Structure 1
Amino acid sequence: MKMKKKILFIQTQAENAGAQEISRLVGEGLATKQHAVHHLFFYRKTDAYDHAPNTTILCDQRPSTPLAFAKFLIDLVKFIRDLKPDVVLTFQHYGNLFGGPAARLAGVPHVIANQVSAQATMNSVIRKLDMAMGSIGVFDSITVNSKDTAGEYGDFPKVYTKRIVHVPHGFKTKTSDLSKGCAREKYGLPSNATILGSVARLNVLKRLDIAIEVLSANPSWHLALGGQGPEEDNLRKQAKDLGVEDRVHFIGEMRSEQVGDFLKTLDLFIFPSQAETFGLAAVEAAQVGLPIVANDIPVLREVLQTDGVPCALFANSDDVASYVTAIEKLLSDPELVKQLATSAERLSRLYSLDTMVDHYEDLVLEQEQPLFMPMGQQA
């Protein structure tokens, strides 16, 4: 009989984004297996988790002074010590950097780090601290969600890399019962336009400036952006400078259950991100049958395929014309769209939500014969 564990998930900021979606899904899955699941966020970014059950947000905003940061660290250790979890799972690089040591100081016997932050988001100091903590055993296991991400740790010491375990992201299919017309009405989008779109946190690494720039190629194209983030003002200014502001629609942050209705509004999904560990939003869009144009980086080539057959067209985010060409091809070639969609139908099998949860439960329970093998021992 499996022992039931008290599990604490630690994230950096409370908002709706990819890493938060994964920890939420894993937490829900482990809760259905009768584990006691709690979530902790360092600070509040949006109101997305204000009323979530078994969820604590330590700070109303990011600690910005030495005194506020010291209080945050003390409160973090105290919270974990009072909760007394059996296992702590940390997410994102700052979640790992502060959550792992805090869990050990609070006496937690089992800590699992999750590398869901792309290397481009980490400076050299953070990377060295992560290497040191993983090497001395602050983390018992370190999950990566793609083979490409695992490869980014190839120059780390063996004592670190032997802890790495490949657990591909699972996802919940983002379907919608709405017609395209009703979905567009819901989000205030034009009913007869060709709408390109993306779901992403609005930060500079997502390269959504490319998505705006392609609108200059065709006056009938519109762009809908689902998400929030620090680049919104710059993106709005870019749209105005290019004279396309009336064709760019900022939808704002969406709850997970709203994403399916948003995807239903689109004719094509554009994903020019230059740094990902998986690319969850693009996988979700492909699986519901949307044609995809994604940046040609190794991790997106890896996850946007099934049985070696691509689910998307790829372009170069340093070359806007390559996106225009790919978009025009998909909008004019229904047979190609059908081929890509047929390949994408198998994504839900390749990235099974149940399998992901089972893998995490094995890590939590530290089974002697897990369902998977560490990356270095895979065939």
Structure 2
Amino acid sequence: MRDAADDTRPPDTRHPGAPAAGRAERFRGAPAPGPHVLLIQPQAENAGAQAIARMLATALAERGYRTGQLFFYRKTGAFDAEPGVAFCAAGRPRTPLAFARFFLDLVRRIRRARPDAVLCFQHYGNIVGAAAARLAGVPVVIANQNSARDTTPPRARAVDRWLGARGLYGRIVVNSHDSAGDLADYPERYRARVVHIDHGFVGRDSALSQAEARARLGLALPPGGRLLGCVARLHPLKNLAAAVRLLPHDPARHLALAGQGAERDALAGLAEELGCGARLHLVGELPPERVGDFLRALDVFVFPSRAETFGLAAVEAAQAGVPVVANALPVLREVLATRDGPCALFADAEDDAALAQAVRRLERDPELAARLVRSGRGLAGRFPVDAMAEAYDALLRERIAAARRV
């Protein structure tokens, strides 16, 4: 299964600065006539891949596309109120029979939508979504490699590698040089389809003061209290236990975590075990419009994630003016930098002492924190949403035009 004109090399699209199942049967995108693009991924929740898809759907609609988002299942209510969104299932299919029913429904929904192109996100979104799109007769399928290698099950990587080399995906988008490097040992037929498009992001500034933001979020700190925080899924790969273990180092520290996930109880239990339960604040999943207020409430943003392809949450925090301490992953060093220098202080997040020392440096060195903030403010110019949208627009129009010529 191949895109039309599959023998052409991909264009260079990198930009400068290198609710329940069954609702929303129709995809309500921009009314202007234009190519119809369907964005597909597994779960509906507020996380990095979903944020990118949300921004991209909006930006493409502004450029005359008709857009819709189709999720395999609804994990949270993050997308319930958004137009142009549909869910194949209320929850994750967990049995072979449930998966078969889900997959047939996915194919039917795509066939009814009749998109000119499908954009798939995350590893299972690529594998399952692209297969369903091809069975539904979609001529253009573009995958996005926005699941880090360490977050992808080996079998899924093997299937993705096999399908990509055989043309199930017409193009494969990566969003960082580090992510592209993860594909260096893939077959040439796979790598020939790879296109680098940097993520864009929306600034998360807030009109509130720090005190107002804390009050609005119910984060009451005693005088002299300092607030560390992170926006992330509560998942072991985000390594948030390392952030919790920062609390015993200083009784003035509090930690606020914005997100939902299976590790919530474990993190709360760890804080209690360390005698810091009252200083851990689990605020839950926040809608995008409230993330800026959460960031304004913080003194330091801590990002100990074990694997990323971009690190959107850390980028948003740095641009919002929060000093950032991040795990020393190559991709985070790549992304969290501008012409003014690094936008974060990096430390090995698997080393509790090293992470604690980095946080302590930022707390005690206001000049260092100010330098990081100045650099972080420049990230808006490095990763503008318009540049991402223009790159996808060029890629989509080229692939759709090629398909129509066949």
Question: TM class, shorter-chain normalised?
Answer: over 0.9
Q: Which residue is 1:42 aligned to?
A: 72
Deviation for aligned residue 1:307: 2.5
Question: Which aligned pairs between 1:210-225 and structure 2 lie closer than 5 A?
Answer: 210-225=242-257
C-alpha distance in structure 1 between counterparts of 2:33 and 2:214, whole Å = 47
Q: Which residue is 1:28 aligned to?
A: 58
Are the aligned partners of 1:114 and 1:143 in contact in 2 as well (CA < 8 Å)?
yes
Q: Which residue is 1:268 aligned to?
A: 300
C-alpha distance in structure 1 between counterparts of 2:43 and 2:60, whole Å = 22
Whether 2:95 is the aligned partner of 1:73: answer no
C-alpha distance in structure 2 between counterparts of 1:271 and 1:83, whole Å = 39
Match of 1:299 among 320, 331, 351: 331
Whether 2:193 is the aligned partner of 1:198: answer no
Are the aligned partners of 1:14 and 1:49 in contact in 2 as well (CA < 8 Å)?
yes
Moved more, 316-325 or 276-285: 316-325
Q: Which residue is 1:128 aligned to?
A: 158
Are the aligned partners of 2:117 and 2:400 in contact in 1 as well (CA < 8 Å)?
no
Match of 1:189 among 199, 205, 219: 219
Q: Which residue is 1:54 aligned to?
A: 84
Deviations 1:264-297 (A, max 9, x none): 1000000000100000000000011111100011
Deviation for aligned residue 1:3: 8.3
Whether 2:195 is the aligned partner of 1:165: answer yes
Match of 1:233 among 265, 271, 274: 265
C-alpha distance in structure 2 between counterparts of 1:123 and 1:235, whole Å = 24
Q: Tell me, what secondary structure is at the counterpart of 2:318?
A: helix
C-alpha distance in structure 2 between counterparts of 1:245 and 1:144, whole Å = 40
C-alpha distance in structure 2 between counterparts of 1:123 and 1:257, whole Å = 33
C-alpha distance in structure 1 between counterparts of 2:181 and 2:143, whole Å = 17
% identity of equivalent residues:
49
Deviations 1:24-52 (A, max 9, x none): 00000000111100000000101111221
Deviation for aligned residue 1:164: 0.7
Deviation for aligned residue 1:66: 1.5
C-alpha distance in structure 2 between counterparts of 1:292 and 1:206, whole Å = 15
Whether 2:107 is the aligned partner of 1:85: answer no
Q: Tell me, what secondary structure is at the counterpart of 2:105?
A: helix
C-alpha distance in structure 1 between counterparts of 2:339 and 2:287, whole Å = 31
Partner letter of residue 379 of structure 2?
Answer: L
Deviations 1:306-358 (A, max 9, x none): 12711111111121111111111111111111111121121111111100011
C-alpha distance in structure 2 between counterparts of 1:3 and 1:345, whole Å = 37
Moved more, 358-367 or 296-305: 358-367
Are the aligned partners of 2:206 and 2:292 in contact in 1 as well (CA < 8 Å)?
yes
C-alpha distance in structure 2 between counterparts of 1:120 and 1:350, whole Å = 26
Change in Cα spacing, 1:57 to 1:175, as seen in structure 2 (3 Å) is same
Unpaired runs of 5+ residues, structure 2, are 1-31, 402-406
Match of 2:320 among 279, 285, 288: 288
Question: Which aligned pairs between 1:354-369 and structure 2 lie closer than 5 A?
Answer: 354-366=386-398
C-alpha distance in structure 1 between counterparts of 2:154 and 2:259, whole Å = 28
Moved more, 321-330 or 211-220: 321-330
Partner letter of residue 177 of structure 1?
Answer: A
Partner letter of residue 248 of structure 1?
Answer: L
Deviation for aligned residue 1:190: 2.0
Partner letter of residue 118 of structure 2?
Answer: V
Question: Which aligned pairs between 1:141-152 and structure 2 lie closer than 5 A?
Answer: 141-152=171-182
Are the aligned partners of 1:199 and 1:227 in contact in 2 as well (CA < 8 Å)?
yes
Whether 2:363 is the aligned partner of 1:331: answer yes
Deviation for aligned residue 1:77: 0.4
C-alpha distance in structure 1 between counterparts of 2:358 and 2:96, whole Å = 49
Deviation for aligned residue 1:208: 0.3
Partner letter of residue 359 of structure 2?
Answer: I
Match of 1:111 among 122, 127, 141: 141
Are the aligned partners of 1:3 and 1:365 in contact in 2 as well (CA < 8 Å)?
no
C-alpha distance in structure 1 between counterparts of 2:376 and 2:282, whole Å = 27
C-alpha distance in structure 1 between counterparts of 2:105 and 2:283, whole Å = 35
Q: Tell me, what secondary structure is at the counterpart of 1:80?
A: helix
Are the aligned partners of 2:115 and 2:138 in contact in 1 as well (CA < 8 Å)?
yes
Aligned residues between the structures: 368
- Spell out structure 1 runs of 4+ moving beyond 4 A: none
Q: Tell me, what secondary structure is at the counterpart of 2:102?
A: helix
Partner letter of residue 158 of structure 1?
Answer: E
C-alpha distance in structure 2 between counterparts of 1:282 and 1:251, whole Å = 18
C-alpha distance in structure 2 between counterparts of 1:12 and 1:23, whole Å = 12
Deviations 1:137-156 (A, max 9, x none): 11111001110010000000
Moved more, 305-314 or 85-94: 305-314
Q: Which residue is 1:376 aligned to?
A: none
Match of 2:48 among 18, 37, 43: 18
Partner letter of residue 339 of structure 1?
Answer: R
C-alpha distance in structure 2 between counterparts of 1:308 and 1:19, whole Å = 28
